[in-house]
Every structure is written in C-alpha cells, then in structure tokens.
Structure 1
Amino acid sequence: MEISFPRMAPQYDSACYTLVFPVQVDGRWIHCGITAEALEDHFGASSIREADLVDAFRAHRSAIEEAAATLIEATHGVPVLLHSGVFRVCGG
C-alpha cells in the first residue's frame, strides 16, 4: 500500500475538536483526523484552541503520520481518527 502525506495544513473541525488532514492512499485521497485530546495528552497542545492544536500537530507531524499510516494499512485504506488511546498503544 502506498501512503503519502502532503505538506498541507490540517483543518480544524470545531464541532468535533479534531484536526483533519489529507492522505493519499494508492492514488486516492482520504481524510484522517486526530483528536484534541490526543494532541493534548501526547503532543503538548496546551488547549483545544485551533492555534495550540495546529502547533502541536506541526511539531509532532512525523509521529502522527506514522501512527496514521500504521492504522490505514491495518484497515486496508480506510480513513482513521487518531484518539489518545492509539498513542498509549503505539507510542507518541
């Protein structure tokens, strides 16, 4: 499975307190996300404010993308939402 992450800024979903980011999987686009809770618990976001979440995402992008790629492969290309528990299991 070929998975790539474009260097686009994540989008804030204020209804769900998540950051959403695009991923290309075998030539098709999907959108994945990471919760504010995961960014606070594991990546140092100081609040659920968009700026704080985006700063944490940017600072730890490679670890977030690695976890997303692992789950995308495990689910055969399905969009994933990274919760705090994901990083308790696979680190971060």
Structure 2
Amino acid sequence: MPIEFSGRREVIAAARVAFEANVNGRDVWCSVSLDALNERFGNAGTAAHDLVGTFEANRTQIERAAARVLERNGGASFELEPGDFN
C-alpha cells in the first residue's frame, strides 16, 4: 500500500498534532496524542509551538509509526498513542 506524508500538520484543540498522509491516492488525517508527545518524545508544554516543535523534531519516528498503523488498519484515520511506538 503506497503511503506518503504531505508535510501538512496542525495543532488541534485537544492538545494533539494532526498530520496528513496520502494512502493509495486518498488523503487521510492522522494525529499524535499529547500523551505520546510527552511520554515518547519529552514534550513539556501544551502551547502550539511546543507541540509543533516536538512533532517536527521527531517527525521521522512519528511517520514511521503512523505508516505501521495505516498498513494494519487499511488506511483509516487514527490517533497515535504511546503504545504505538513500541
């Protein structure tokens, strides 16, 4: 299943970062939870610049985990939690 990440990302109200993937030609929004950003990547704040900074600094690992989930779930939207990085 071809998966590409567009580079688009947004901080959303529930203190998580949403990011876009293209799966088999279809755009899919995914997100990474505040818990995952805090526990896995040492994020320390809830301000947009904190969340985006942590996301960007760890984008490769986050997208790798997202690709694994997208492969398993058939390309459906989801939110990454700390356990998705094991």
Q: In the TM superposition, what is the alpha-carbon distance from 1:33 to its structure 2 partner?
A: 0.2
TM-score, structure 1 normalization: 0.87
Matches within 5 A, 1:1-92: 1-8=1-8, 10-14=9-13, 16-87=14-85, 90=86
Q: In the TM superposition, what is the alpha-carbon distance from 1:34 to its structure 2 partner?
A: 0.3
For 2:50 and 2:42, how far apart are their aligned partners in 1?
Answer: 9
Q: In the TM superposition, what is the alpha-carbon distance from 1:7 to its structure 2 partner?
A: 2.1
Deviating above 4 A after TM superposition, structure 1's stretches of 4 or more consecutive aligned residues are none
For 1:46 and 1:31, how far apart are their aligned partners in 2?
Answer: 24
**Unpaired stretches in structure 1, ≥5 consecutive residues:** none
Q: In the TM superposition, what is the alpha-carbon distance from 1:77 to its structure 2 partner?
A: 0.8
TM-score, structure 2 normalization: 0.93
**Unpaired stretches in structure 2, ≥5 consecutive residues:** none
**What does the per-residue CA deviation read over 1:24-57, in whole Å, with 9 as the maximum and x for residues that have no partner?**
0000101000011110111121112211110010
User: Which structure has greater strand proportion?
Assistant: 2
Q: How many residues align?
A: 86
Identity of aligned residues (%): 33
Q: Which range is displaced more, 18-27 or 44-53?
A: 44-53
